[in-house]
Amino acid sequence: MSKIMIIEDDPKIATYLASYIEKYNYQVEIVADLERIIDSFQAFNPDLVLLDINLPYYDGFYWCRQIRSFSICPVIFISARTGEMDQVMAIENGGDDYITKPFSPDIVMAKIRSQLRRAYGEYASNQQERVLQLAGLKLYPERHELHFFDANVELTKNETNIFELLIERHPRVAGREDLLEKLWDDQAFVDENTLNVNMTRVRRKLKELGINDAIETIRGSGYRLNKVWEENEL
């Protein structure tokens, strides 16, 4: 059963959409906390998102960019904005389609089915999930998960970015400047202290997997991930 997430601040519209979509045997969730949309997304892990533009805290363009930073899940904007530029911005910020309010529920269903077919069905390309591997350590960037044989831990976006660079650079050093650039997003400048805090958290995540002292600090340069578990843990 495909899962549809509705991000809409009008409860009447959200409830109407949910009840209509559920009639077609989709699992639907309406996001309740519009300040923590990404948390809801990661918990529900939807196959498709219906996203309004006019939302409290941040607009739909912002949230679409956040989703796109780790997911290729189809996003359909549904908005009362009918301007051409709004539709252009929706697509340029990562949206896959655009529906204007008031909408026909049948049109919404047709577009949902179309996007699901393109993403997962008969029209889907052979997209393989990215997996970065190093001697039994597996990073799933789109899931924000790190696996070590039968154990796994969940990661934040920053932790995922750090592990991605460390594994890609192995056995070379991942430079501090490269790590800072990897962590920097559109909203917040990342300084040295933030990097240090995140490196501590990354080491802690490895420890949860039973891997100790694998990240070496290279003074004046950066960090290197060493395969210490090959000798010490296996």
Q: Do residue 158 and residue 141 come from a single domain?
A: yes
Same domain for 66 and 96?
yes
- pLDDT (average), residues 167-183: 89
Catalogue the long-range contacts made by 92-98 (C-beta closer than 8 Å, 24 or more residues apart).
93/61, 93/64, 93/65, 93/68, 94/64, 94/65, 94/67, 94/68, 95/51, 95/64
Q: Is residue 183 part of a domain?
A: yes
The position carrying tokens 């650039």 is: 181
119 is in which domain, residue-wise? 3-127
Instruction: Say whether both 36 and 111 belong to one domain.
Output: yes
* pLDDT greater than 70 at residue 185: no
- For residue 122, pLDDT over 80 is answered with no
- What percent of the chain shows pLDDT beyond 90? 61
CATH of the domain at 136: 1.10.10.10
- The answer for residues whose C-beta is within 8 angstroms of residue 84's C-beta and 6 or more apart is none
Last residue of a domain, one of 127, 152, 184: 127
Q: How far is CA 155 from the centre of its chain?
A: 11
189-201 tens-digit pLDDT: 667 888 899 999 9
The arithmetic mean of pLDDT across residues 62-79, rounded, is: 89
* b/e burial code for range 72-108 (CB count within 10 A of at least 16 → b): ebbbbbbbebeeeebbebbeebbbbbbbeeeeeeeeb
Indicate the number of domains in the chain. Answer: 2
User: Given this model, what pLDDT does residue 64 score?
Assistant: 93
The pLDDT of residue 234 is: 47
Q: What percent of the chain has pLDDT over 70?
A: 92
45: in domain: yes
Mean pLDDT of 105-119: 92
> 120 with 8, same domain?
yes
**234 assigned to some structural domain:** no
As a whole number of Å, the CA-based R_g of the chain is 20
C-alpha neighbours within 13 Å on the C-beta side of residue 5: 25
Residue with tokens 């892990």: 45
Higher pLDDT, 183 or 171: 171
| Cβ contact 74:56 at 8 Å | no
Residue 124 has pLDDT above 90, yes or no: no
CATH at residue 57: 3.40.50.2300
Q: Tokens 């889907």 appear where?
A: 124
pLDDT for the residue 175: 92
Taking residues 8-26, report their average pLDDT: 95
Cα separation, 175 vs 1, whole angstroms: 44
Q: Is residue 74 a part of any domain in this protein?
A: yes
In angstroms, the CA 157 to CA 39 distance is 11
- Nearest CA among 232, 186, 219, 182 for reference residue 202: 182
Q: Give the mean pLDDT of 143-158.
A: 88
Same domain, 23 and 45: yes
Report how far apart the first and last C-alpha atoms of the chain are (Å, whole number).
Answer: 39
Joined together, the tokens standing for residue 123 give 């029209």
DSSP at 215? E
- 85-106: average pLDDT: 92
Please give the average per-residue pLDDT across 4-9, as a whole number: 96
